[in-house]
Amino acid sequence: MVAYRSAAARRVLNQLEKAMEITQAAAAYGAAASEQKDRRVGRVVFASALGTIIEWYDFLIYGAAAALVFNKLFFPSEDPFLGTMAALGSAAVGFFARPFGGAVFGYFGDRLGRKSMLLLTLVIMGLGTFAIGLLPTYAQIGIWAPILLILLRIVQGIGLGGEWGGAALMVLEHAPARRRGLCGSLVQVGFPIGLILSAGVFGLVSKLPEEEFLSWGWRVPFLSSLVLVILGAFIRLKVEESPVFEAMKAKKEIARNPLAEAIFRHPKSFLVAIGLKISEVSWVYMLTVFVVVYATTRLGLPKAQILDAIMIAAAIEIVTIPLFGHLSDVFGRRPFYFAGALFTIGFAFPMFWLLDLRDPLVIVAAVAVALSFGHGLMFAPEATYFPELFGARARYSGASFGFQVAAAIGGGLTPVLATWLTQKWSGTAGVSLMLIALALVTLIAAFCAHETRNRSVAEL
């Protein structure tokens, strides 16, 4: 009897030991799988953010050049105001091309995959930017100079219009559920870094003697883009396709017309996306384009001073955007649109009062506060929130097209309208009222939006 019990006990112990071995092996496998998944997510975030940095750098250097160079070399006029308006109008053309890029690449991104569209848009943007650096001026080829410049600006707009949505989706569809806001905000950090690079390079070349700056110095920021594009394309080649898209493809759930599905099956989400974006995008291009024109022409400030202020503000936003992205995982996406729009309403007049003081420290502080709270609060959750508003079948099309339509209206028209209003009203009161009106549109959109923080990507 004792021997029987002893043998039974040994069998139980053996079974417990085997169970423990299986548990340990499963735990080790789970840890290895988790580590591998974290590395994969890290690669996707890095590749998406790097590509977005390059895209924003390419797009933003045009705005700086339009404010400082193109009005003299490509749109000469006896009236400096008309030359500036023409140069800013050429910059706006790129914004109007962005919805086309968002629609086309969104459609094919939902049909063929996210990764291939990311590579294609990066190359399109890079080649368009590089070609601008090679253009002859109005003095050399006459009217063909501004025509070619505008055509290449359209190419830039198409490239950026398709790139952002793909980068946002790749991160969203790879990211852990509880860190979607943070991971998506790392894609958005591409904007302030691209802004620093573009303002920094232009700040350096603007220190050249005026004759050298206008003859060859302004070309350097555009030509250097080619190196960045080659690096970005190489890194993006190594990224895996979105698992959500692969699952849809395996189940044969690919939408036949994702753009139509985004607009007609999700009309509320589409309109909400436009409304949420309109204030933030208007505000940021006021700061990075119109304020450069206003400070250098109306206030007589040195180019380097206002560009340095923008760079410092952008450097601060590199920290605040991920912070706001993380907090959107805690509190949700909508509160940041309420806060950002209310800040814009309250700061629309004081911002220009502070600039008018012409004090370097006050200008830096004003631009830094304005950028982080009027732009960063709403921009940080966008790469996560906009795709979350649409179903997976039409996510690329809906997020891209809605984002870019708002960018065309707010980013393309706002600097031009602000320049005209300043001239018409002999001051910035009209500009401030315009910014307040756009912020009210975003507030209404935030009231109409629904929260997506706690919903899975598969359910959205």
pLDDT in tens, 169-181: 788 877 887 889 9
> Does any domain span residue 102?
yes
> Does any domain span residue 295?
yes
What's the CA gap between 72 and 66, in Å, rounded?
A: 9
Residue 191 main-chain phi, psi, to 5 deg: -65, -55
pLDDT higher for 117 or 323?
323
| pLDDT tens track for 363-419 | 999 999 999 999 999 999 998 998 888 776 777 888 788 888 888 888 778 888 888
Predicted local confidence at residue 278, as pLDDT: 94
Share of the chain above pLDDT 90, in %: 27
- Give the confidence band of 5 by pLDDT, cuts at 50, 70, 90: very low
Average pLDDT value for residue range 440-457 = 88
> Does any domain span residue 29?
no
Domains identified in the chain, total number? 1
Predicted local confidence at residue 459, as pLDDT: 55
> Does any domain span residue 456?
no
| pLDDT tens track for 98-108 | 888 888 888 88
Q: How many CB atoms lie within 10 A of CB 337?
A: 26
The pTM of this model reads 0.80
pLDDT higher for 188 or 91?
188
| pLDDT tens track for 277-313 | 999 999 998 888 888 888 888 888 887 788 889 889 9
Note whether 100 and 159 are within 8 A (CB). no
> Does any domain span residue 12?
no
Q: Which residues contact 163 (CB under 8 A, 6 or more apart)?
A: 51, 52, 55, 101, 105, 118, 121, 122, 125
Which range has the worst mean pLDDT, 294-308, 327-341, 351-365? 294-308
Predicted local confidence at residue 20, as pLDDT: 47
Query: Which burial class, exposed, middle or buried, applies to 171 when counting CB atoms under 10 A from its CB (0-12, 13-18, 19+)?
Result: buried
Average pLDDT value for residue range 318-335 = 94
CATH number at residue 295: 1.20.1250.20
What's the CA gap between 386 and 208, in Å, rounded?
A: 42
> Does any domain span residue 455?
no
Predicted local confidence at residue 326, as pLDDT: 94
> Does any domain span residue 4?
no
> Does any domain span residue 22?
no
Predicted local confidence at residue 62, as pLDDT: 83
**Is the model's pLDDT at 423 over the cut of 80?**
yes
What's the CA gap between 169 and 435, in Å, rounded?
A: 30
Q: Domain containing 193: what range?
A: 44-448
| pLDDT tens track for 12-62 | 446 545 544 543 443 333 333 345 556 777 778 888 788 788 878 877 788
